[in-house]
Chain A
Amino acid sequence: MEFQTFTVADLETALLSEDFWLTRTHPITKQKALSFCRNPRAEKDDPVLLVAYRDGQVAGYLGILPDRVFFNNAGYKLGWLTGWWVDPGIASKGLGALLLYKALNAYGDRVGVSGGSREARQALHASQKFIALPPLKGLDIRVRRNATETVLRRFPALKIFRVGFRMADVLLDEIVNLRGFFWERRTPVLQRLTFEYVASVDAETSRFIERHHQHDLTRKGKAEFDWIMTYPWIVSAPRKDPAGGRYFFSSIAARFHYLGVKVHERNDGMVGFFMLSVRNDRMSVLYAYFENRHAPAIAAAAACHALAMDVSTLRLYDERLVKSFSVLRCPGWSAQPISRGFFMSNAFADCPLADCRLHGGDGDFAFY
């Protein structure tokens, strides 16, 4: 078994190399590698990918996303673990543990983890090197019924009735559209709002974010949001390509894009900014900035975008938006509580983590 540590500079070279992409399994995708190379919070010599090779083939890998976290006006470097995979054929040899310890050593024990599989969480817990942050409690709001997908996923044999399910979906969608139409007209806060869409954070938004991100753990700004929106890890494509099949994690979706939404209120000017991602029929509000008094307006804005953008679900992770949504009486079929977990290595144990605000896109969540 051989281990190779790729820094940002190494990955830039790998992107141009043909040999790097010859292995049966790819340790990263080209779009993810490009994103790593353009990360505004990464230095050229930051380790970003650990790969274990056996007989010239990839046996396991672990990506690390360099970032900064902030406590009491001081910034600290850390690496978020992302894409931790071990060939199941050799899973009983402790390779995953080795990759974890190597990542911890590479970042001087300053490592964070967002989400993770059950096995990954067990390993983190067993290592006694991590503390769990209070999870982000959110809401998964089903604004449309996607009967075709739901039923056919559970009962593939009913595929012959696909046309019937699609007709039912169209009918149900029309009911939702009609309810949405009336809801928007009888929701006063929405009448006062106008929206401006940005694919890159402009000067006004940048200043607005800076005024509202002081308590954020990762305190993102223009450079970080522009980077996320410009270098996604998921590519919109109708079918999975061969390269996507050689990478264990998601790399392609039928529909994937980000949108920055500036929210203006008639008398108050700009009252909020949120960045959302749309992946197939799911919309997530990844980052949201606003004052508490404007939470109902921002929640209504997010809901009206979910209704307008032909998605089935809307995911919110900001507790103020979750609270406001429940009194909006927005048309929808159901709302389920969801959560997102974060872990930080013990090096941050003495930091006031409980005082820091997390967003639904923190860690590597923004990219999926």
Chain B
Amino acid sequence: MDEKITQMLFQVLDELNQLRPEDEHLKKDLETPLAGDFGRLDSAGLINLIVLTEQRTARELGRPILLTDDRTLSRINEVFRTLGSLAGYIQLLLNEKSDG
């Protein structure tokens, strides 16, 4: 599942980069900073990332997730610190859904 999530997020970055100027493209690397204190995304960029991630997760992993609820927003620096931390959080949400 980890690898599936990573690949899905790389595809999200491909789509996101199409919306951004070339010099602002995000690298397909789990260490790439996203939002929060060291992030590279402005508000529109973060919104696009969230929308694309929610859509692709539902489509490719077969389970919808919500990244804009109060629980996620209260941990925003943690969740969106890097692509890797986002992947870990998606994994957590999917596991919770399976357990539930």
- The reply to whether the CB of A97 lies closer than 8 angstroms to some CB of chain B is yes
- The contact of A94 among B36, B51, B74, by CB within 8 Å, is B36
- The contact of B44 among A102, A123, A128, by CB within 8 Å, is A123
Q: Complex: how many Å from CA A126 to CA B76?
A: 19
Q: Looking at the complex, which of B5-13, B56-64, B65-73, B85-93 is the stretch in contact with chain A?
A: B65-73
- The contact of B76 among A96, A98, A123, A128, by CB within 8 Å, is A98
- The reply to whether the CB of B94 lies closer than 8 angstroms to some CB of chain A is no
- Given A126-B51, A127-B51, also A94-B43 (CB < 8 A): yes
- The reply to whether the CB of A253 lies closer than 8 angstroms to some CB of chain B is no
Contact bitstring A126-138, B, C-beta under 8 A = 1, else 0 = 1110000000000
- The reply to whether the CB of A328 lies closer than 8 angstroms to some CB of chain B is no
Interface residues of A in 1-21 (CB under 8 A from B): 1, 3
Q: Which residues of B contact A49 (CB under 8 A)?
A: none
- The reply to whether the CB of B28 lies closer than 8 angstroms to some CB of chain A is no
Q: Which residues of A contact B31 (CB under 8 A)?
A: none
B42 touches A91 (CB 8 A): yes
B68 touches A105 (CB 8 A): yes
A105 touches B47 (CB 8 A): no
Contact bitstring B7-42, A, C-beta under 8 A = 1, else 0 = 000000000000000000000000000111101111
B35 touches A127 (CB 8 A): no
A119 touches B69 (CB 8 A): no
Q: Complex: how many Å from CA A101 to CA B72?
A: 10
Q: Which residues of B contact A122 (CB under 8 A)?
A: 44
B45 touches A94 (CB 8 A): yes
Tally chain B residues at the interface, Cβ within 8 Å: 24
Closest to A127 in B: B47
- The contact of A105 among B39, B42, B69, by CB within 8 Å, is B69
B43 touches A105 (CB 8 A): no
Distance between B1 CB and nearest chain A CB, rounded to angstroms: 26
Q: Complex: how many Å from CA A102 to CA B48?
A: 16
Q: Complex: how many Å from CA A165 to CA B42?
A: 45
Closest to B46 in A: A94
A105 touches B73 (CB 8 A): yes
Distance between A162 CB and nearest chain B CB, rounded to angstroms: 42
B43 touches A91 (CB 8 A): yes
Q: Which residues of A contact B40 (CB under 8 A)?
A: 92
Closest to B69 in A: A105
A100 touches B73 (CB 8 A): no
Q: Which residues of A contact B36 (CB under 8 A)?
A: 93-94
Q: Complex: how many Å from CA A96 to CA B72?
A: 15
- Given A101-B68, A123-B43, also A93-B35 (CB < 8 A): yes
Q: Which residues of A contact B42 (CB under 8 A)?
A: 91-94, 96
Q: Complex: how many Å from CA A132 to CA B43?
A: 20
Q: Which residues of A contact B68 (CB under 8 A)?
A: 101, 104-105
- The reply to whether the CB of A190 lies closer than 8 angstroms to some CB of chain B is no
Interface residues of A in 108-132 (CB under 8 A from B): 119, 122-123, 126-128
- The reply to whether the CB of A198 lies closer than 8 angstroms to some CB of chain B is no
Q: Which residues of B contact A3 (CB under 8 A)?
A: 74
Q: Which residues of A contact B51 (CB under 8 A)?
A: 126-128
Q: Complex: how many Å from CA A98 to CA B74?
A: 9
Q: Which residues of B contact A119 (CB under 8 A)?
A: 43-44
A126 touches B48 (CB 8 A): yes
Q: Complex: how many Å from CA A119 to CA B46?
A: 13
B70 touches A100 (CB 8 A): no
Q: Complex: how many Å from CA A82 to CA B47?
A: 19
B39 touches A126 (CB 8 A): no
Distance between A107 CB and nearest chain B CB, rounded to angstroms: 13
Q: Complex: how many Å from CA A101 to CA B36?
A: 15
Closest to A124 in B: B47
Q: Complex: how many Å from CA A128 to CA B68?
A: 13
Beyond the given pairs A96-B43, A126-B48, 8 more chain A to chain B contacts, judged by CB atoms under 8 angstroms and listed by A's residue number, are A3-B74, A92-B42, A94-B36, A94-B39, A97-B50, A98-B46, A105-B70, A122-B44
Q: Would you give 10 A-B contacts (Cβ < 8 Å), ordered by A?
A: A91-B42, A93-B35, A94-B80, A97-B43, A97-B44, A101-B68, A104-B68, A105-B68, A122-B44, A126-B47
